[in-house]
Amino acid sequence: MLKGKRILLIIGGGVAAYKALDLARRLMERGASVRGVLTSGGQEFITPLSVASLTGDECYTDLFSLKDEAEMGHIRLSREADLILIAPATADLMSKMANGIANDLASTILLATDKPVMIAPAMNAQMWDHPATKRNLETLRGDGVHIVQPGDGMLACGEVGPGRLAEVMDMVAAVEDFFGGDNLLLSGKRAVVTAGPTHEPIDPVRYIANRSSGRQGFEVAAALSRLGADVTLVAGPCAQETPAGVTRVDVETAREMQAAVDAALPADIAVCVAAVADWHVKNGGAQKLKKSKDGTPSFEFGENPDILKGLSGLKKGRPALVVGFAAETENVVEHATEKRVRKGCDLIVANDVSAQTGIMGGEYNEIHLISAAGAESWPKMEKSAVADKLALKIAEVLKG
């Protein structure tokens, strides 16, 4: 999505500097080339070697480097980029930028550049709210600097409030938004995504569920949104944060999920990631069930609606592309291939959720993408990367 874009990443001092390493990696995964500049404060938290090893390029630290400044290195660095990104942007760096101070490599680059600049501030809540910081921020906005707003929460100093460095994927999204329409491959498209487990009540305090965390579905919703789609996320009970720009509808049971999906139609894209329970309890208790001398209770089960098959089989208003997920524990490709035909969907994303894989509830996924043409196996990667690759695949298929 950022193929061919050159980003100069200036890393300021602060505990949040460690996030810059993940940020560089995420930008590179999307095709950008990243070159690092590490301030003296930044070097208190991460090393030039770690930045250079990750980016595959030299990490620049010294304004008075004999080798680099013989070629006017600060000028070259300031001009050989499509975007200069500062993360974290400390109060000190913001003050230097706002007042034209150039007393180290980073601030000199920023004064010498004719390229667009984006900052992701990070600092103590009181520093963020200080009148001087507010004045500097307004000056920078007036100078055309792009701002990635900090988050609100627990800070490294132990205080709670605004000033927390934006999440890595929010910074990535801001960079993608900056480069604009070239990346909005799904602009004008409507998508509905299901995620998480469903809970099927046995009585008011007990339910049938599964181990799905909802993470992969939430990442898919976020990835589709980043490509410009209007996304409705129908979520079963889970603790995931709602992705930026996504409309979230919370449900509990499979039948509630079915109703919410129906309400989200029409849509161009449907991605059924949720681990929906196959059955519900027909004879559950209106009150909490108690132990009795009659022994263990017996339950009668009713079949839940098949949301994926229902979407695939719509005679009127079927989404142009219907994608299902297949969580398997054996014969993954074979079972998923059969499922795609049985459900009538266009694509199936299959994975092995056996306990030893750590996929269900974990950060990583290893999938096989099943289509009418066969199976395409992807290497193990973080669920956010799986989501981005799947979103691009969806855009490619819709484009034809």
322: left (phi over 0), alpha (psi -120 to 50) or beta: beta
Question: Do the annotations mark residue 307 as ligand-binding?
Answer: yes
Question: Do the annotations mark residue 308 as ligand-binding?
Answer: yes
Long-range contacts of 281-290, Cβ-Cβ distance < 8 Å, separation of 24 or more: 281/200, 281/201, 281/202, 281/208, 284/201, 284/202, 284/203, 285/202, 285/203, 285/204, 286/203, 286/204, 287/203, 287/204, 288/203, 288/204, 288/205, 288/206, 289/202, 289/203, 289/206
- Tell me how far apart the alpha carbons of residues 15 and 18 are, in angstroms, rounded to a whole number: 7
Question: Do the annotations mark residue 57 as ligand-binding?
Answer: no
Supply the DSSP symbol for 332. Answer: H
- Tell me how far apart the alpha carbons of residues 357 and 108 are, in angstroms, rounded to a whole number: 49
Question: Do the annotations mark residue 282 as ligand-binding?
Answer: no
Question: Do the annotations mark residue 77 as ligand-binding?
Answer: no
Question: Do the annotations mark residue 343 as ligand-binding?
Answer: yes
Beta-bridged to residue 200, according to DSSP, are 208
Looking at residue 377, its amino acid is S
Question: Do the annotations mark residue 114 as ligand-binding?
Answer: no
For residue 345, indicate whether it is catalytic. Answer: no
Strands 269-272 and 190-195: parallel
- Tell me how far apart the alpha carbons of residues 380 and 367 are, in angstroms, rounded to a whole number: 7
Is-contact 133 91, C-beta < 8 A? yes
DSSP track, 369-389 = EEETTEEEE---EEHHHHHHH
Question: Do the annotations mark residue 45 as ligand-binding?
Answer: no
Looking at residue 42, its amino acid is G
Supply the DSSP symbol for 43. Answer: G
Of 157, 238, 272, 345, the catalytic one is 157
How far is C-alpha 146 from the geometric centre of its chain's CA atoms?
21
SS3 97: helix
Question: Do the annotations mark residue 325 as ligand-binding?
Answer: yes
Annotated binding site: 278, 288, 305-308, 325, 339, 343
Annotated binding site for CTP: 278, 288, 305-308, 325, 339, 343
Residues marked active site are found at: 157
